[in-house]
Amino acid sequence: MNKISILLIVLSLSIFSCKNDKKESKVEQETQVIAKENFIVKPEATSVKWTAYKTTEKKGVGGEFTVLKFDNKSGTTPQDALNNLKFTIPISSLFTNDETNTRDSKIKNAFFGSMLDTDLIKGTIKYNNDKYVASLTMNGVTNDLPLDVEITDERRVTMKGTMLLKDWNALGALEALNKVCFDLHKGEDGVSKTWDDVAIEVNTFLRKN
């Protein structure tokens, strides 16, 4: 092999090595950027809606809590940002958009007013083994509410669950509510009924920093 051939080989190896170094450097930089990126739950973009049911036909009655307070929490993934997120919901923020302006006070006074803690619902969202639960404290009882969670575009989060009031020893409070709403909760069969399951839906949006 002549000297010119050897020189060409050396130059080729040097150029290839340089390109690889640049490529690896670019990959390292991109990895560092991803590692630094955090997902943060936005309080102002979070809503808590619920649907309770009345009459034997199980007609839905919708409402929401207009205030949800939680700790500042971030994570490198949406799951990490939501995991161990602690929150409180003031009962006073309950709102049903009732035209008679009487339903809200009945729920607050008769239902929540019959509980041990009449001010707040407290909880923590937990993520483990690809499953979510909300560990809720209400009426002095802490129990897990399983959640179906959908995350779209890694930003928009919808969490749904069905709360069984017996799991929070709240059937007495439910009975108290049914008494003050006895006639309003009658169906076509004349039977007054208030169901013990409540559908919960939480929507939020994750901000990236």
Q: Could you report the per-residue pLDDT of 73-82, keeping only the tens digit for each? A: 899 999 999 9
Which pLDDT tens digit goes with each residue over 51-77? 999 999 999 999 999 999 988 889 999
Name the CATH architecture for the domain at 39-208.
Beta Barrel (2.40)
- CA-CA-CA-CA dihedral for 180, 184, 190, 196, to nearest 10: -70
Sign for the CA dihedral angle at 187, 192, 195, 198 comes to positive
Rg (CA), the chain: 27
> Of 24 and 78, which is predicted with more confidence?
78
So what's the pLDDT on residue 27? 46
pTM of the model: 0.79
Two structure tokens written together for 166? 């017996």
So what's the pLDDT on residue 60? 96
- Classify residue 109 by its DSSP letter: I
Q: Where does 71-112 show beta strands of DSSP type E?
A: 74-75, 85-90, 94-95
pLDDT bucket at 182, cuts 50 / 70 / 90: very high
Q: Which residues contact 150 (CB under 8 A, 6 or more apart)?
A: 157, 158
Report domain extents, the chain: 1-36, 39-208
So what's the pLDDT on residue 7? 47
So what's the pLDDT on residue 156? 92
Q: What is the arithmetic mean of pLDDT over 22-42?
A: 59
The mean pLDDT of the chain is 86
Q: Could you give the CA distance from residue 79 to residue 72 in angstroms, rounded to a whole number?
A: 15
Give ∠ CA 75-79-80 in degrees, rounded to 5.
30
pLDDT bucket at 88, cuts 50 / 70 / 90: very high
Which pLDDT tens digit goes with each residue over 89-98? 999 999 999 9
Q: Could you give the CA distance from residue 66 to residue 192 in angstroms, rounded to a whole number?
A: 29
Contact of 65 with 97, CB cutoff 8 Å: no
Quick one: 23 exposed, middle or buried, by C-beta within 10 A (0-12, 13-18, 19+)?
A: exposed
